[in-house]
């Protein structure tokens, strides 16, 4: 009997809960909503046949015997018309039957009104003005009561879902109202949408080795803990955009058989204070419950910027989120196998506390791929592309210096799109060349250029090309064109034979001379200058300034650097810079820059004057063919 009673009691417990609707909302809320809706419908329906009269019209209706009864409540007068009375709807042509009417009594005519009603046999009733005051107050307060009740219900429901744990979160309970404080990190496992592996990442061999060790730490933690080693808490991937930071994170998710939480830094910040910190806590709690696990934060600089930087202090909500991340990473115990990976292309703006040991222990720098890596990347992206026999992947890799992995992927895709537009079955060499021109120079413009301006552009580009061929220690010429593309009316392309890491003084000086070759050719041919060399002048001046102030290549200033102080990235590069040299030194810097630029311009002018015949032949060929490859330029040079 005792067991049966206990069982009966347990079966009755669900019936003792508060009755709820189909979606879990208590029934009393629905009853209150239905009552308010019913009252609104009733009052609306009750007023459908009630006409609004002016006070003078009301008295006229009384005098004519059209009113049977009235009810006076303060200044409000409600009444009923006599039977079979119809009010005119429009200028007396049509009639509409109304059962009741209402009007407003001005108040000073009460005695005359009562006499008028008695004389015409109208039944009079009276009500106090406060009889319905409570009803109007309820109607006005009902929306606010519903909001408060719904917020209270949502808060209690959040507490039940979180097991009744304390803390208010971002808004009204753990996770906040409508789960606004819950983590938005997307969870992946090895079998879910994570088919990317390290084999799909070309180049970046050192980075892959470091990350392969992280995978081993997570899959075989006892092997390292037995030796007294601690698993790294954070891995920071740094590099220019498009170098493969997010791709490496996806590869780690594909290689590791552990839960992988992915989120962007911007997803932590909301308009409510404390939401970002609440989401950080929730994300780390979820990862700790399923350890070993990996957390990946993309674009870390969105929340990890230096605290207190900029005018007027920092951003409180962002700084609270950053403080919570720092706290969570410090709170890891040695046996907790949770690794935080993050990616950024702005490591210079990160808070120093993030990069210290114990937080992001490993900082992996990803650079632009070199020639062997570019070839591997192109091979990977070209695996599914049918190629013609004339396509040389190694030559394309050699011609794409400075391209990132994302740029190379885009190159293959653009070449495929171009071949599809031409209704070709395979992608050819010309498609890759056109795609490279589109990416580096821009789409070809349909610009109308007259003969005189075309000749000027041809002299400008021929000047660049000829100075490139005549000077030693310059990057080899690839092509020169006067076809307008993007924002340029012409272009001279140079490609280094090898990826350069160290730049000599002679190479830099010759590079400045090549930049000024177009301006020198204009002066030689037309005895005038145009604004077409504005970008060339900017490049030459910036390069000369770096030589003088940063690289110690000045004759008068010697082996010293003269920077303009530490950049304040949140104040603007120019606004936050402070000079660390005197005015006299600044004058010498300006004179040295001017001397370098002027001497290199004179050098380019002398080369072009000595080879004027060759320059004219180049211009003629350019006007005729619009584009000259390196071999054609060399043939003209041999003839000259």
* Pairwise CA distance, residues 497 & 399, whole Å: 9
| Residue 470 token pair | 């005549």
Band (pLDDT 50/70/90 cuts) for residue 511 is very high
Mean pLDDT of 456-476: 90
pLDDT at 600 over 90: yes
Mean pLDDT of 216-223: 78
pLDDT given at position 512:
93
| Residue 70 token pair | 């009235």
pLDDT at 94 over 80: no
| Residues 184 and 233 grouped into a single domain | yes
When mean pLDDT is compared over 162-176, 210-224, 384-398, the highest value belongs to 384-398
Q: Which residue has the higher pLDDT, 265 or 57?
A: 57
pLDDT at 174 over 70: no
φ/ψ region of 239 (left if φ > 0, alpha if ψ in -120 to 50, else beta) reads left
| Residues 190 and 104 grouped into a single domain | no
> Does residue 539 sit within a domain?
yes
pLDDT given at position 333:
57
The helix (run of H) or strand (run of E) holding residue 471 is none
| Residues 211 and 88 grouped into a single domain | no
CB atoms within 10 A of CB 631: 9
Mean pLDDT of 505-530: 90
Neighbouring C-alpha atoms within 13 Å toward the C-beta of 341: 25
> Does residue 160 sit within a domain?
no
**Interval 307-342: pLDDT, tens:** 765 544 445 667 777 777 787 777 655 556 788 888
Among the listed residues 461, 522, 592, 601, the single catalytic one is: 461
Q: Which residue has the higher pLDDT, 593 or 31?
A: 593
Q: State the average pLDDT for the chain.
A: 76
| Residues 336 and 247 grouped into a single domain | yes
| Residues 387 and 511 grouped into a single domain | no
**Domain-ending residue, one of 440, 463, 479:** 440
CATH number, position 121: 3.30.720.210
Q: Comparing 196-205, 415-424, 468-477, 553-562, which segment has the lowest mean pLDDT?
A: 196-205
When mean pLDDT is compared over 367-376, 449-458, 504-513, the highest value belongs to 504-513
| Full 3-state SS string of 554-590 | ECCCECCCCCCCCCCCCCCCCCCCCCCCCHHHHHHHH
pLDDT at 200 over 80: no
| Full 3-state SS string of 20-71 | ECCCCCEHHHHHHHHHHHHHHHHHHHHCCCEEECCHHHHHHHHHCCCEEEEE
- Parent domain of 569: 451-639
Mean pLDDT of 188-199: 63
pLDDT at 29 over 80: no
- 461 belongs to the catalytic site: yes
How many domains are there within the chain?
A: 4
112: three-class secondary structure by DSSP = helix
pLDDT at 545 over 70: yes
Q: What is the DSSP string of 371-407?
A: HHHHHHHHHHHTTTS-B-TT--HHHHHHH-TT--HHH
pLDDT at 76 over 50: yes
| Residue 184 token pair | 């938005």
Query: Are β-strands 67-73 and 123-127 bridged in parallel, bridged antiparallel, or unpaired?
Result: parallel
| Residue 214 token pair | 């992280």
Write b or e for each residue in 155-181: b if 16 or more Cβ atoms lie within 10 A of its Cβ, otherwise e: beebbeebeeeeeebbbbbbbbbebbb
| Residues 512 and 397 grouped into a single domain | no
pLDDT at 66 over 70: yes
CATH number, position 221: 3.40.50.300
| Residues 181 and 288 grouped into a single domain | yes
| Residues 354 and 377 grouped into a single domain | no
> Does residue 25 sit within a domain?
no
| Residues 459 and 341 grouped into a single domain | no
| Residue 269 token pair | 């910040």
**Interval 111-170: pLDDT, tens:** 788 888 888 888 888 766 555 566 667 667 777 777 777 777 766 765 555 444 333 333
CATH number, position 468: 1.20.58.760
Q: Is the whole-model pTM more than 0.75?
A: no
Contact 514, 468 (CB under 8 A): yes
Mean pLDDT of 490-515: 85
Mean pLDDT of 480-488: 83
Mean pLDDT of 551-568: 76
228: three-class secondary structure by DSSP = coil
pLDDT given at position 632:
87
pLDDT given at position 578:
60
pLDDT given at position 18:
46
Paired with 20 in beta bridges are 26
pLDDT at 397 over 80: yes
């Amino acid at each position: 009997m005792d067991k049966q009673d206990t069982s009966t009691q347990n079966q009755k417990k669900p019936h003792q809960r508060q009755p709820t609707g189909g979606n879990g909302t208590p029934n009393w809320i629905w009853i209150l909503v239905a009552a308010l809706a019913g009252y609104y419908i009733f009052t609306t329906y009750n007023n459908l046949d009630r006409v609004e009269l002016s006070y003078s019209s009301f008295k006229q209706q009384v005098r004519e015997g059209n009113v049977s009864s009235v009810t006076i409540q303060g200044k409000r007068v409600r009444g009923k018309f006599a039977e079979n009375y119809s009010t005119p709807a429009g200028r007396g042509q049509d009639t509409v039957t109304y059962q009741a009417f209402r009007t407003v009594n001005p108040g000073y005519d009460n005695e005359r009104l009562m006499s008028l009603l008695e004389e015409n046999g109208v039944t009079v009733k009276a009500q106090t003005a406060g009889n319905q005051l409570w009803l109007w107050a309820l109607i006005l307060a009902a929306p606010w009561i519903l909001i408060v009740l719904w917020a209270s219900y949502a808060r209690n429901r959040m507490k039940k879902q979180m097991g009744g744990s304390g803390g208010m979160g971002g808004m009204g309970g753990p996770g906040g109202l409508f789960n606004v404080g819950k983590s938005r990190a997307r969870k992946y496992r090895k079998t879910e949408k994570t088919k990317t592996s390290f084999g799909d990442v070309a180049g970046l061999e050192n980075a892959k080795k470091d990350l392969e060790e992280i995978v081993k730490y997570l899959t075989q933690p006892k092997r390292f803990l037995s030796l007294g080693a601690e698993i790294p808490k954070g891995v920071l991937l740094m590099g220019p955009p498009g170098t493969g930071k997010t791709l490496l994170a996806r590869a780690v998710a594909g290689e590791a058989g552990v839960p992988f939480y992915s989120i962007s830094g911007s997803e932590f910040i909301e308009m409510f204070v404390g939401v970002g910190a609440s989401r950080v806590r929730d994300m780390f709690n979820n990862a700790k419950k399923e350890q070993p696990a990996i957390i990946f934060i993309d674009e870390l600089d969105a929340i990890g910027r230096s605290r207190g930087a900029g005018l007027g202090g920092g951003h409180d909500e962002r700084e609270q989120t950053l403080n919570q991340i720092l706290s969570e990473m410090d709170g890891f115990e040695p046996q907790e196998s949770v690794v935080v990976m993050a990616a950024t292309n702005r490591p210079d703006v990160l808070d120093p506390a993030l990069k210290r040991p114990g937080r992001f222990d490993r900082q992996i720098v990803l650079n632009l791929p070199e020639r062997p890596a570019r070839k591997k990347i192109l091979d990977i992206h070209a695996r599914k592309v049918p190629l013609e026999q004339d396509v040389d992947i190694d030559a394309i890799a050699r011609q794409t210096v400075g391209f990132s992995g994302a740029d190379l992927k885009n190159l293959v895709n653009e070449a495929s799109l171009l071949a599809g537009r031409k209704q070709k079955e395979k992608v050819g060499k010309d498609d890759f060349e056109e795609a490279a021109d589109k990416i580096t120079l821009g789409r070809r413009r349909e610009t109308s250029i007259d003969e005189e301006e075309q000749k000027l552009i041809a002299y400008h580009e021929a000047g660049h090309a000829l100075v490139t061929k005549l000077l030693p220690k310059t990057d080899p010429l690839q092509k020169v064109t006067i076809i307008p593309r993007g924002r340029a009316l012409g272009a001279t392309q140079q490609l280094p034979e090898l990826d350069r890491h160290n730049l000599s003084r002679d190479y830099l000086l010759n590079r400045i001379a090549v930049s000024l070759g177009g301006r020198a050719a204009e002066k030689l041919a037309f005895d005038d200058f145009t604004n077409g060399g504005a970008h060339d002048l900017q490049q030459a001046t910036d390069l000369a300034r770096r030589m003088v102030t940063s690289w110690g290549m000045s004759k008068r200033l010697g082996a010293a650097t003269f920077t303009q102080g530490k950049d304040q990235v949140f104040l603007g590069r120019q606004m936050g810079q402070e000079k660390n040299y005197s005015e006299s030194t600044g004058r010498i810097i300006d004179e040295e820059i001017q001397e370098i630029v002027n001497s290199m311009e004179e050098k380019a002018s002398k080369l072009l004057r000595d080879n004027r015949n060759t320059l004219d032949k180049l211009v003629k060929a350019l006007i005729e063919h619009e584009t000259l490859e390196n071999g054609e330029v060399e043939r003209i040079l041999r003839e000259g």
